[in-house]
Amino acid sequence: MEQVVSPLILYAATGVGALGVMLAMPKRRGGIAAIGGLLVAVAFGGLLLGMLALAGPVGEAPNLFFYVFAGLAIASGLRMITHPRPVYAALYFILTILSSSGLYVLLSAEFMAFALVIIYAGAILITYLFVIMLATQAPSEEDEERLSDYDAVANEPVMASIVGFAMLALLSTMLFTGAPDLERSPYLETPGATLASQPVKIERMLLDPLREVEGPDGSPIVGEDDEIATRETGAGRRAIVDVEARLVGVSPRGDDGVVDASAVRMVSVPDELWPDDVQGTNVEGLGLNLLGQHPMTIEIAGVILLMAMLGATVLARKQVDIEEALKARQARRLAGDAYSTVSSGEVEP
């Protein structure tokens, strides 16, 4: 169990970060947001540098991309919550999304990285931008004056920063010092175990061709009742397969449909049946996992999306009776806008 960042650095950095966010929160008067931003940058920069210095064994090259993407994601997230203008906040959130999709690529989740960009940055955030533009008064040249009060002044920034950074400090203390077994997964020590983690793929790719092959005594090597042999590990079911020796473990299916694990025998796959590329790609593995192990969840997700669509349509179509006073206020505001633009252009000397 190795300590990644010393607790002293961690607590100091979270304290400085809380102070910085406190100062950077939007407020009307006496803005020292720049100092706050600097403090937050120092805090998170110190934490990331601490992780950089202490990560991995000595001599191992640090993964530069991780620090770039992580820093960008955190920095744009902070700017999102401290920027007084909603449109800018949404744009900074898009930057956060793009950075975290970079982190997904580093974690070899390519499909999810693209899905994140397309769904989040492409669809959800555009909807947010539309609503922000519909529901916000247009700013004029004098930016600060036209900001609505609820955008310009934060609500309880001190308490919020303290609570948020206390949570961060606790979570990271557990991550960095408390939690045991943060060594790498034993499967990483072997050159990839992706094929073993996809029994369905082996069944389709190796076992089905093998059913056609006859052994020396005329009977099929793999009978109709045989299934790919799997074994429950801590991280899910793994097929028993030896890629280098081209062996596949099969076992007869029991009466109740359960594979009998005690009767595993290793079958050698002939060279002509062995595919050129047995490597499991990310999309393939994800698709097999999604449809093979969570089919009911897809149905539920579909129903939820349908309900959300119907609900949003019904809600947004609803006619609202505005009170007379509010109507008058709106009319006055619109008239005032028209009057002020005319007057500022022509009447003033």
Q: Of 204-212, 213-221, 233-241, 339-347, which part binds another protein (CB under 8 A)?
A: 233-241
How far is it, in rounded angstroms, from Cα 130 to Cα 121? 13
Smallest gap from residue 218 Cβ to another protein (A): 28
Please, what sign has the CA dihedral across residues 211, 213, 214, 215?
negative
Q: Of 102-110, 211-219, 220-228, 336-344, which part binds another protein (CB under 8 A)?
A: 102-110
How far is it, in rounded angstroms, from Cα 239 to Cα 231? 6
How many CB atoms neighbour CB 249 within 10 A?
19
81: burial class by Cβ within 10 Å (0-12, 13-18, 19+)?
Answer: middle
Which parts of 237-266 interact with another protein (CB under 8 A)?
Answer: 238, 240-245, 247, 249, 264, 266
C-beta of 62 vs 344, nearer to another protein: 62
How many CB atoms neighbour CB 94 within 10 A?
19
C-beta of 37 vs 249, nearer to another protein: 249
Which parts of 184-223 interact with another protein (CB under 8 A)?
Answer: 184-188, 190-197
Q: Of 28-36, 206-214, 301-309, 334-342, which part binds another protein (CB under 8 A)?
A: 301-309
Which parts of 144-163 interact with another protein (CB under 8 A)?
Answer: 148-151, 153-157, 159-161, 163
C-beta of 334 vs 342, nearer to another protein: 334
Contact 76, 95 (CB under 8 A): yes
List all residues 6 or more positions away from 274 whose beta carbon is below 8 Å from its beta carbon.
206, 246
Asked whether position 231 contacts another protein by CB under 8 A, the answer is: yes
How far is it, in rounded angstroms, from Cα 156 to Cα 12? 22
Contact 109, 282 (CB under 8 A): yes
Binding another protein (rule: CB under 8 A), the pick from 32, 34, 68, 307 is: 307
Smallest gap from residue 343 Cβ to another protein (A): 24
C-beta of 73 vs 222, nearer to another protein: 73
C-beta of 39 vs 97, nearer to another protein: 97
How is residue 185 written in tokens? 């997964």
Smallest gap from residue 252 Cβ to another protein (A): 16
